Amino acid sequence: MVKDWGIALILTAFGFLLLTSYAKMQAPDLPDTAPSWSLENLEGKTVSLEDFRGKTVVLNFWATWCAPCVTEIPTFSAFAKENPDIPVFGIAVDGSRSSLRRAAKSLKISYPVLMADSKVKSAYKVSSLPTTVVIDPQGQVKDIHVGIMLGPQLRWATR
């Protein structure tokens, strides 16, 4: 019985490491300095990365049709409420302003949703969703995570 548990633990750890490594291999190769952007929020106001210089910033690229994206929204909402000093932005790669407003309300998103344009998707080399990028207070890319991000991973990446 102990032997079976040991094997199960080893296989679980190996699987976790394999998945983590795969996600890291798929992460886009971004420059050290985060690409600048100016995007509209759901009220039509322009928000720029430069507005948040001096703060850690979390960018979560997502889509309404992306099940893993929708799954992680409660994690980002809770994080945003618990860490009001760390701006969190959901950068939606699909949808109109009105459809995103409805989605944000129904999904109970507690952080600003911005509408991606082709420039920001290209600059951040977003090819898989969800993709989360953490930017440090000096504007440097601190962490890139492809796939569902769990609360402990988000807290670790922003510390």
In tens, the pLDDT along 91-127 reads 999 999 999 999 999 999 999 999 999 999 999 999 9
Does residue 25 carry a pLDDT above 80?
Answer: no
Range of the domain at 128: 2-157
In tens, the pLDDT along 54-99 reads 999 999 999 999 999 999 999 999 999 999 999 999 999 999 999 9
CATH number of the domain residue 102 falls in: 3.40.30.10
* DSSP string of the chain, one letter each residue: -HHHHHHHHHHHHHHHHHHHHHHHHHS----SBPPP-EEEETTS-EEEGGGGTTS-EEEEEE-TT-HHHHHHHHHHHHHHHH-TTS-EEEEESS--HHHHHHHHHHTT--S-EEE--HHHHHHTT--SSSEEEEE-TTSBEEEEEES---HHHHHHHT-
pLDDT averaged over every residue in the chain = 89
Structural domain count, the chain: 1
> Residue 24's pLDDT band (boundaries 50, 70, 90)?
very low
